[in-house]
Chain A
Amino acid sequence: MATALSALRYAIRSRTINLHYTALLKSSQYRAFHVSRRVDVVKPFLLADIGEGITECQLIQWFVQPGARVEQFDKLCEVQSDKASVEITSPFDGVIKKLYYDPDDMAITGKPLVDIDIQSEISEEDEAKLAGGEGEASPADEGEAKMSSGQQEMEAQGGAEAGMAEAKEVKSDTPRLAARRPTSKSDHGTLATPAVRHLTKELDVNIGDVEGTGRDGRVLKEDVHRHVSLKSQKPETPEPSAKAPKTREDKRAPLTPVQSGMFKLMTRSLNIPHFLYTCAADVSALTALRKKLSGANKSTEQKLTHLPFIIKAVSLALQQHPLLNASLDTKDPKKPELVYKGAHNFGFGADTPHGLMVPVIRNVQDLSIVEIAVQLRELSEKARNNKLAPFDLRDATFTISNIGSVGGGVVAPVISEPQVAIVGIGRSKVVPAFDENEELVRKEELTLSWSADHRVVDGAECARCAERVRSMIEDPASMMVNMR
Chain B
Amino acid sequence: MITWNRAYRGAHLSLSQRRWLSKLTLERLATRPVQSYISTSNNPYLNLSLEHYLLQKSSPESTILLLYVNRPSIIIGRNQNPWLEVNLSLLSPAPRAATNSEPELAGSFLGAVDLVRRRSGGGTVFHDEGNVNWTVICSSKTFTRDKHAEMVTRALRSLGVERARVNERHDIVLDQGERGGDVVDGADMHVTPFTRQNAASRPLKVSGSAYKLTRQRALHHGTCLLSSPNLNVIPHYLHSPSKPFMSARGVESVSSPVGNILLENEEFMGAVQKQFAVMYSESRATELQEVGLEWLENETVGKGYDELNSLDWTYLQTPQFNVSNAADALASTDVQFTVRNGTITAGVLRSRNNSAFSQLGEDSVGTRLHEIAAWSTALPRMFTGVDRAECDKLATWLESVLPPSHKTAGHS
- Report which A residues bind B (CB closer than 8 A): 50-52, 58, 60, 73, 78, 80-87, 89, 103-104, 291, 295, 298, 430, 442
Contacts and interface: CB of A to CB of B under 8 A. Distances in A.
B148 interface: no
A434 B123 CA distance: 41
B273 interface: no
Interface in B82-138: 119-123
Contact of B215 (A51, A87, A298): A87
Looking at B119, B121, B214, B251, the one whose CB has the most chain A CB atoms below 10 A away is B121
15 contacts: A51-B145, A58-B249, A58-B251, A60-B79, A82-B121, A84-B211, A84-B212, A85-B78, A85-B79, A86-B213, A89-B214, A104-B319, A291-B181, A295-B181, A430-B197
Contacts of B145: 51-52, 83-84
A73 B215 contact: yes
Contacts of B211: 83-85
A82 B215 contact: no
Contacts of B77: 80, 85
A146 B121 CA distance: 41
Nearest to A103: B319
Contact of B213 (A58, A73, A85): A85
B250 interface: yes
A315 B67 CA distance: 61
Contact of A104 (B123, B214, B215, B249): B249
Nearest to B197: A430
A285 B181 CA distance: 16
Given A104-B319, A291-B181, A430 B121 contact: no
**Interface residues of B, dominant DSSP:** loop
Interface in B140-195: 145, 169-170, 181-183
B210 interface: yes
Given A58-B250, A58-B251, A83 B198 contact: no
Interface of B: 77-79, 119-123, 145, 169-170, 181-183, 197-198, 209-215, 249-251, 317, 319-320
A82 B213 contact: no
Given A60-B78, A430-B198, A83 B170 contact: yes
B119 A104 contact: no
B213 A50 contact: yes
A80 B251 contact: yes
B319 A58 contact: yes
A386 to B, nearest CB: 28
A83 B210 contact: yes
Nearest to A428: B197
The 7 closest A-B pairs by CB, nearest first: A84-B211, A85-B121, A83-B122, A104-B319, A86-B213, A87-B214, A80-B79
A51 B251 CA distance: 18
Nearest to A85: B121
A81 B285 CA distance: 35
A337 B33 CA distance: 76
Given A86-B213, A291-B182, A442 B79 contact: no
B330 to A, nearest CB: 32
Contacts of A84: 120-122, 145, 210-213
B374 to A, nearest CB: 29
Contacts of A58: 79, 249-251, 319
Looking at B170, B210, B213, B214, the one whose CB has the most chain A CB atoms below 10 A away is B213
A449 to B, nearest CB: 23
A207 B119 CA distance: 54
B198 A442 contact: yes
Contacts of A104: 249-250, 319-320
Contacts of A86: 212-214
Looking at B123, B145, B183, B319, the one whose CB has the most chain A CB atoms below 10 A away is B319
A81 B122 CA distance: 8
Contacts of B320: 104
Nearest to A83: B122
Contacts of A295: 181-183
B191 to A, nearest CB: 16
Given A52-B145, A58-B79, A86-B214, 20 more contacts: A50-B213, A58-B249, A58-B250, A60-B319, A80-B251, A82-B121, A82-B122, A83-B170, A83-B209, A84-B120, A84-B122, A85-B77, A85-B211, A85-B213, A87-B213, A104-B249, A104-B250, A291-B182, A295-B182, A430-B197
B29 to A, nearest CB: 20
Nearest to A51: B145
A104 B181 CA distance: 48
A85 B271 CA distance: 28
A82 B213 CA distance: 13
A303 to B, nearest CB: 11
A417 to B, nearest CB: 39
Nearest to A52: B145
Contacts of A83: 120-123, 145, 169-170, 209-211
A130 B396 CA distance: 54
Contacts of B120: 83-85
Contact of A89 (B119, B122, B169, B215): B215
